[in-house]
Chain A
Amino acid sequence: NAGVMQNPRHLVRRRGQEARLRCSPMKGHSHVYWYRQLPEEGLKFMVYLQKENIIDESGMPKERFSAEFPKEGPSILRIQQVVRGDSAAYFCASSPPRDGTIKQYFGPGTRLTVT
């Protein structure tokens, strides 16, 4: 069973461009979480999705950021009109449905650099 996959691993964008980050959860996992790690800061929750539903997006910036987890395919975190402050490591995690241990499995992350 392959782990959580994220691509690309490194992404460079110029200010004003769009960034699309992809996350493929582990097989059988229907819950996806996105976290952001800004330089010198801890990991912060952004959004929690189940298939075709956003469950909680309390950590998402109000503008420019959106996330989806379609019925088929990976989860996408989309950042429009990127700014330098968006430079960070973005981690995706997944968990199985109604898992009694409530454990999240993390991907390797996408490191976004905005120039």
Chain B
Amino acid sequence: KQEVTQIPAALSVPEGENLVLNCSFTDSAIYNLQWFRQDPGKGLTSLLLIQSSQREQTSGRLNASLDKSSGRSTLYIAASQPGDSATYLCAAPFILGGSNYKLTFGKGTLLTVNP
């Protein structure tokens, strides 16, 4: 059974600050790990997907790292902006067999960036 934990549950920072969101998972036999953004009352926006063979993935001001051996992933946001305010979710696949899998989500980190 895959369990995903995100720390902290909530984070409030001033604009311009660099920040790190943490995600840990219990089953290290994962194909990949995915980070999502969710705005209030909205759907999921995929931010980054890190394959198990990769150690990090970058997109603009976002950088995600993956350490399978320790069961951890981090999402680094550089030079935060008020528009980054949202809930950030990480998700790890739980393998059902063959290439079949389902995603297990953490409860998310609610980020508030204050102008």
Q: List A residues at the B interface (Cβ < 8 Å).
A: 33, 35, 41-45, 48, 55-56, 59, 91, 93, 98-99, 101-109, 111
Contact = CB atoms under 8 A, between A and B. Distances in A.
Contact of A103 (B34, B96, B102, B105): B34
B42 A56 contact: no
A43 B4 CA distance: 11
B6 to A, nearest CB: 9
A33 B102 contact: yes
Nearest to A59: B102
A31 B102 CA distance: 11
B115 interface: no
A42 B46 CA distance: 16
Interface string B62-101: 0000000000000000000000000001010100100111
The list of the 4 closest CB pairs from A to B, nearest first, reads: A42-B107, A108-B43, A43-B105, A106-B44
Interface in B1-60: 31-32, 34, 36, 41-44, 46, 49, 51
A56 B96 CA distance: 8
22 contacts: A33-B103, A41-B107, A42-B89, A42-B106, A42-B107, A43-B44, A43-B91, A44-B105, A55-B100, A56-B96, A56-B100, A91-B44, A98-B99, A101-B49, A102-B32, A102-B93, A102-B99, A105-B46, A106-B43, A108-B42, A108-B43, A109-B43
A94 B44 CA distance: 13
Contacts of A101: 32, 49, 51
Contacts of A91: 43-44
A45 B4 CA distance: 13
A21 B53 CA distance: 37
A106 B105 contact: no
A45 B102 contact: yes
B114 interface: no
Given A103-B46, A106-B43, A107-B43, A45 B108 contact: no
